[in-house]
Structures are given as structure tokens and as C-alpha cells.
Amino acid sequence: MAHLYRRKRSPNWWMEWRVGGRRFRKSTGTSRRELAEGVLAKLIRQQLLHHAGAGAAPVPTTEFIKAVERKLTASGSSPRSVRQTAAHLTRFFEAVGKPPSLVEPDDVQAYLELRAGHVSQATVRRELDSIFAAFRAALRRGELLRDPCASIKKPSLERKLITCLRAEEVGQLLAAAREWRDGAVLVGVALAAYAGLRLAEVRHTDWPDVDLEARRLYVRGKDGWRPKTRQERVLPISDALAVALGDHRRESGPLLSAPSGTRRGKTYMTKAMLALRKASEVEQAGWQILRHTFASQLVGQGVSIYKVSKLLGHGSVQTTERHYAHLAPDELGQDVNRLGY
């Protein structure tokens, strides 16, 4: 990253930058900080580094995006995540109308404000995450003199209380699932309600991942798919979940399989949940809602946030705290009442 610094025995400000692992330094020719910043900005804007023969030509936008795709694919990101990131970057560069090396902080800020007027804050954050990460990686590779996103502040998200079901509503949903023509749907609902699995994790669980004798459920990647946080985990199987799984037990294949033996798709399971919602008269029923309900019930019963985080497969305990900590019993109030004075 290009920056200014002071040098001993010199009254002027100096510039330093890196390209391809090589470090370059040059005097700005002035002792005034505001003038030195202008010289640095001119260096970056005009790509004087390239014209001086010290580095390679600026990377075209298409190659910039392809480099990001290659890096994500190599790191194990899902094809969907790779496509989504590429779409975010394509939209950004089409809006600013500049190649990566000429993008300024003002361009990023203007794009942020433009998108904020058309999409939700969460969508803006997701797009900015892709853009920020791409520029940071390009800076480390020496393709840019500075990161235009470094001074940009991402919009904060409004904290919304999660939606969860009551215990009797979960019972109604399970009862409707038992009447469903496809037994795999009941297995899916049971996995979400009793193990807190995401829908993608439910869909990618196979019967060899289920050990009913040891009461262990293995959540692990397969067929090019990996869990959301890329953390494989082993979950305990409760008595209720063991019954649901035992009634449909097979030796191999996906838990959610079609009559042909293929894995049920996301669209099929989403439509199945909509039908169950209508049949059970539980208006807020959903796959993610069942996961929220699983976690909320545990936290409300006094299970530690740390344990719930491990069960959910969150990337950090802070994520679990942000969503569920307000549901925990007031243990602090109980503790201070133990004072003996």
C-alpha cells in the first residue's frame, strides 16, 4: 500500500509503495503534508509506477475478476459463492466505469450510496464484503498502489430480533410432516428442529453420516459442497431425532432422496415447507426458523452460548451472542444476589 513517511536527515515527505514484492521509495519534494498527499495521489492516479518501468501494466477488469474467482475456487468456496462474488464485482465496475487501478475512495462511496437507495442494508454489506476483499487481495499481490476501500466505512446493520416458534407449533409442524407423502421431508424437519441444521446441511447429509448406535451425526463436506463456515462438526442425536431417523433408516444414499435415489433439491424442500406451513397452520414456519427455534430453546433453558455456538457451527461465539444472548436467563442477577453483605 502506498503511503507517506518521514526520513531522517531529510526535511521532505517520502512515498513508499510495493509492486510484486518489491519496495520503492521516492521523495515528494515538499515538507508540507498537504502538498505531499497531493503528490502521492497523483502518483496513484496516473500510474507513474508503470510508466517508470517499475511494475507491470494495470490489470484489466476482466482479469481482476477472474483472479478473484480462481482464488475463491482454490480456497474451497462453493460455486454459488464464486458466482455471487463475480456478480458483485461486475456490477461495481460497470457502475464506476473505471478499471481497478483507477478506482478512488469517492467511487466506492458513491457506489455505496447508489446501492443503498435500491437494495437492503444487508445486500449492500454483502456486496461491499466482496469488493473490499477483492481490493485487499489485489493490494497484497502488488497489482495496486493502494486500497480504495481502506477509508470507507461499511453501513451498520439494524439488529432485528430473530423469529422462532413455540414448542406446540414445532409439534404441529412435525405432525404435518408425518402425514406428508414423502418421508424425507419429515427427516428434514426433524434434523432442523432437533439438531439445528441449515437446509443446505440437511440436504447434504447422507445415511453414512448418521451413527444411531453411537448417537452421532456428522456434518461434513461432500460432492464439492462444504458447510457454510467450512467447519465440519459432530453433533449428538437426541432421543426424538433418533426415532425420526430410525423410522426411515437406510444403509446408503442421501437422507433427503427422491424415489430415483438422487438428492432432493433446494426448490423441492422450499415448496415442501410452504405446503407444511399451510397444512399445520403455522404461518411463520421455515427452515431457518426451525434452526432459530432450536438455538433459542437451548439458550432459554440455560445452555451456554459457547455450547450452542458449537452445535450451530457458527464461525465465532460472537455470532451466537449477537442473535441469542438476550434469551439467556438472568444469571448475572442471580449471582449478585449471592453477596453476603
The 10s digit of each residue's pLDDT in 232-257 is 899 999 999 999 998 888 888 899 98
pLDDT at 52: 41
How confident is the prediction for the chain on average, in pLDDT? 85
Confidence of residue 3 (pLDDT cuts 50, 70, 90): confident
pLDDT in tens, 133-146: 999 888 877 777 77
pLDDT in tens, 287-306: 999 999 999 999 888 889 99
pLDDT in tens, 35-90: 888 887 776 665 544 544 444 455 688 888 998 998 888 887 778 889 999 999 99
pLDDT at 182: 83
The answer, yes or no, to whether residue 332 has pLDDT greater than 70, is no
Q: Whole-angstrom Cα distance, residue 292 to residue 323?
A: 9
Q: Whole-angstrom Cα distance, residue 271 to residue 276?
A: 9
Average pLDDT score over residue span 306-323: 90
Quick one: which H or E segment has residue 147?
A: none
Burial of residue 332 (CB within 10 Å: 0-12, 13-18, 19+) is: exposed
Confidence of residue 281 (pLDDT cuts 50, 70, 90): very high
Cβ neighbours of residue 107 closer than 8 Å, sequence gap 6 or more: 96, 98, 148
The SS3 call for residue 229 is coil
The answer, yes or no, to whether residue 12 has pLDDT greater than 60, is yes
Count Cα atoms within 13 angstroms, Cβ side, for 105. 10
pLDDT at 333: 63
Burial of residue 156 (CB within 10 Å: 0-12, 13-18, 19+) is: exposed
CA dihedral sign of residues 260, 266, 267, 271: positive
pTM across the whole model: 0.68
